[in-house]
């Protein structure tokens, strides 16, 4: 049976990062024995993201683009990517180069061992301590406590999923972070792998502290 993989990349104003990311992804996937597509979702960028993506898609048959009409948010972008993907395995990754494509084989290794969801864990995270890492610690603790599904790093976008666990689930708000818990409730076998994390080189983070409240609200929606 053919092994197929879709890499889903939500993008909002990342014009400086996506060429290099695309190259890093190509370098990684050429060594995989998976039939792989990359799906970039342009989530209402106002910079040159679309132009760069058009060039990449024109030159690479494995590169698809979805253009959203406005900035709907990272969760909606990921949802659009899932919907338009065809791989049996789905991997989500950030577009800003903070996640490293070189970790993708590590995630796939766990899938091949029989896990259904493999969650990246940014153990050595390169983000500000008080404004980002601390709120994230609290959020991870709270999500783990309320869902009963214990993970160190819900917020890490770099994760792998078996397609069947994502297909029938509508996500909105900030819910993509809660996907592993949802999958676990459906009977998925979960594991974590430590992944590397890099400082943001270009552009800036799209989030402030208010995100944590939105994540908590979605947590209650999911739970009840």
Q: Which is nearer to ligand UDP, 94 or 153 (CB)?
A: 94
State how far the alpha carbon of 71 is from the alpha carbons of 45, 75, 150, in Å.
7, 11, 31
Min dist CB 3 to ligand UDP, Å, is 26
Q: Which is nearer to ligand UDP, 166 or 188 (CB)?
A: 166
Chain-centre distance of CA 65, in angstroms?
16
- Give CA–CA dist 215/222, Å, rounded: 10
| By the rule CB under 6 A, 43 interacts with ligand UDP | yes
**Among 29-37, 143-151, 161-169, 199-207, which window interacts with ligand UDP (CB under 6 A)?**
199-207
| Buried b / exposed e along 13-31 (16+ C-beta atoms within 10 A) | bbbbbbeebbebbbebbee
Question: What is the x/- site pattern for Mg ion, positions 82-111, by CB under 5 A?
Answer: --------------x-x-------------
| By the rule CB under 6 A, 71 interacts with ligand UDP | yes
| Residue 74 interacts with, from ligand UDP, Mg ion, none (CB under 5-8 Å by kind) | ligand UDP
| By the rule CB under 6 A, 174 interacts with ligand UDP | no
| Residue 151 interacts with, from ligand UDP, Mg ion, none (CB under 5-8 Å by kind) | none
First CA to last CA distance, the chain? 39
Q: Which is nearer to Mg ion, 21 or 149 (CB)?
A: 21
Kindly give, in sequence order, each residue whose CB lies less than 8 Å from that of residue 221, ignoring residues fewer than 6 positions away.
173, 175
| By the rule CB under 6 A, 96 interacts with ligand UDP | yes
- Give CA–CA dist 191/94, Å, rounded: 20
Instruction: State the DSSP string of 133-165.
Output: IHHHHHHHHHHHHHHS---S-TT---EEEEGGG
- Among 77, 108, 139, 149, contact with ligand UDP (rule: CB under 6 A): 77
| Residue 87 interacts with, from Mg ion, ligand UDP, none (CB under 5-8 Å by kind) | none
- Among 10, 87, 101, 120, contact with ligand UDP (rule: CB under 6 A): 10
The 3-state DSSP class for residue 55 equals: helix
Which residue, among 149, 119, 155, has the nearest Cα to 137 in the 3D structure?
155
Positions in the binding site for ligand UDP (CB under 6 A): 10-12, 14, 43, 71, 73-74, 77, 94-96, 98, 205-207
Positions in the binding site for Mg ion (CB under 5 A): 96, 98
């Amino acid at each position: 049976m053919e092994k197929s993989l879709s890499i889903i990349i939500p993008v909002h104003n990342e014009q400086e990062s996506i060429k290099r990311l695309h190259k890093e992804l190509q370098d990684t996937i050429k060594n995989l024995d998976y039939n792989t597509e990359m799906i970039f979702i342009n989530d209402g960028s106002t910079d040159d993201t679309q132009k760069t993506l058009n060039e990449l898609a024109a030159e690479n048959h494995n590169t698809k683009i979805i253009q959203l009409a406005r900035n709907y948010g990272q969760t909606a972008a990921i949802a659009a990517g899932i919907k338009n993907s065809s791989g049996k395995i789905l991997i989500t990754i950030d577009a800003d180069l903070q996640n490293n494509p070189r970790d993708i084989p590590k995630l796939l290794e766990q899938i091949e061992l029989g896990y259904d969801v493999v969650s990246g864990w940014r153990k050595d995270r390169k983000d500000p301590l008080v404004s980002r890492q601390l709120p994230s610690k609290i959020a991870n603790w709270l999500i783990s406590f309320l869902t009963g599904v214990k993970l160190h790093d819900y917020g890490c976008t770099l994760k792998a999923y078996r397609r069947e666990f994502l297909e029938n689930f509508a996500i909105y708000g900030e819910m993509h972070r809660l996907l592993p818990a949802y999958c676990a409730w459906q009977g998925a076998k979960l594991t974590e792998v430590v992944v590397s994390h890099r400082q943001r080189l270009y552009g800036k983070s799209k989030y402030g502290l208010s995100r944590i409240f939105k994540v908590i609200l979605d947590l209650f929606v999911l739970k009840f």
